[in-house]
Each structure stands twice: as structure tokens, then as C-alpha cells.
Structure 1
């Protein structure tokens, strides 16, 4: 197999992460299938497959941690005082929104952090794809090395 084919396969390993928008768990299944089929063909493909899977597992762990931290802040904020939203639908629409709890702001900040993380994830995936296309190895930032 030529070097061009190796770079193409490595590029598709990274780009297959975007299959999650079409297939549930496609961000794991796409790179995993391509990596398993082609990992014995070259060290280059093997390295890129491991990098892509390590990054996706790391992102999953980071997302779960942020989610587990964020959900209680929103729950305590809403359960803290029901006067945050006061709807009266029988005598017409009456809406009373008072100042939300500081916990709501903390939870919202963590949610905003998750959105920024999602955008950075897309940028890192595109950057890794371009590096693979050029025949270079790309190490994802903040990636935990599960597969070595």
C-alpha cells in the first residue's frame, strides 16, 4: 500500500468522528472500525487511530464530568425557589421572573464551557485531519492516553 493511501486512511479516521451527527456513537464506531481494519498496514495509521480514539474517550469523560457538575447546579437553582418563574395561565398569561439564584449562573457558566469545548473539539478534529493528510502525526491537546 502506498504512502498516499496511508495518509488518506489516517485522514478518514479523523474525519469519521463527524459521523456522530448521523449515527449514534459514530464518533467511536467510525474511527474504531477504520483503525481495526487498517492498523496492521502501517505504524502511521495505527498512531492516528489511537490518537482519534483516545481523544474521543477523553472528550466523553470530560463531558460526563461537566454534565454531572452542571446538572445539580440547575436542579438546586430551580428547586431553591419556585418564584423564579411564576405562571398564571387561568386568568390570562402572567409571567413573573425574579432574579435567579447564583447557582443558576454557575451552572450556566459550566454549560457555556461545554459549548466552547465542543467548538474546540471540532477545530482539533479538522486540524488533525489536515495534519494526517500532510503525513504528519498530530497529538490532540488534553487527550488522555488510553490506547498506547
Structure 2
């Protein structure tokens, strides 16, 4: 496929990959801008069509992973949070009595604070951030060279 790809097609596919960095400037820009570029050029260029699907699948997968990670970390945080309030912090001594989760992890884990679940969730979100940056840069480089690139950890929403 490399021999039939024009420079213009490679540049368009590279811009589609690089446009996922727009999330740092525009909310949901990592979905909107690649989607607009992909839909505008997918019928004319097969290489842009393939790469547009790859970008969107990867960004949707990362969003899904972040939502699942957040949903998992909220109960952990709520289980540790009453322990913080039970230590007379802000004068809320008996707020732990209203904890219906009954998560008593303080015996096995003697960290004694709410930093443990936030630390785990923070590390996992940081890992997703690094994976996003590193693999998007790799995709931009490989696509500019005319090679097909497939992101890892991607669920194929668009086929």
C-alpha cells in the first residue's frame, strides 16, 4: 500500500492523527476534529479512511477506559473518605456511622488516609495519558512515512 500513497494523502492522514492533540485546547477536540477531517476525506482516500478509523477507535477506547476507571475508583474513595472525617477533621467525628458501604480496609491496609485510592486511580489515569501521548506520536511518525499504524488496546467501534 505504501507505493500508491501520495504525499497529500500521507499529510492528511498525519493531520488526522495529530488532531487528536486538540483535546488540550478544545473540549472533546480529540473526537470532533479527527471526525470532521476523516468524514471529509474518507471517500477520496483509502489511507485517510483507515487512519481516521484508527484514531477515533483509539480515542473512544481511551474515553471508555477512563470512565470505567473512574467508576471503579469512586467506591474505593468513598470507602476511605469517612475514615478521614472520623479523625475529628473539621469536627465531623461521627460521620463514619452513615457509611453504608461497610468497607473496612484499614485493618489490612494501614495507610490510614484517602490518598491510597486516589494514588492508584491517579497512576492509572497517568498511564492512560502517557499511552495516549506516546502512541499518538508514533502514529504521526509512521503515518507520515506512509506506513499503516494500529493502536494497541483499541476496541474496534468503527470497522
Same-fold call, TM cutoff 0.5: yes
Shift of 1:72: 1.6
- Structure with more of its chain in strand, by fraction: 1
- The match for 2:82 is 79
Could you say if the C-alpha distance between residues 116 and 85 of structure 1 is closer, same or farther in structure 2, counting changes exceeding 3 Å? farther
Gap runs ≥5 in structure 2: 92-109
**TM-score, with structure 1 as normaliser:** 0.84
- The match for 1:65 is 68
Q: Secondary structure at the match of 1:100?
A: coil
State whether structure 2 residue 49 is matched by structure 1 residue 24: no
**TM-score, with structure 2 as normaliser:** 0.79
State whether structure 2 residue 14 is matched by structure 1 residue 15: no
- The match for 2:99 is none
Shift of 1:31: 0.4
Shift of 1:84: 4.9
- The match for 2:100 is none
The 1-side partners of 2:139 and 2:147 are apart by 9
Could you say if the C-alpha distance between residues 85 and 32 of structure 1 is closer, same or farther in structure 2, counting changes exceeding 3 Å? farther
Are the aligned partners of 1:73 and 1:104 in contact in 2 as well (CA < 8 Å)?
no
Pairing of 1:1-148 with structure 2 (within 5 A): 3-84=6-87, 86-87=89-90, 99-101=111-113, 104-148=115-159
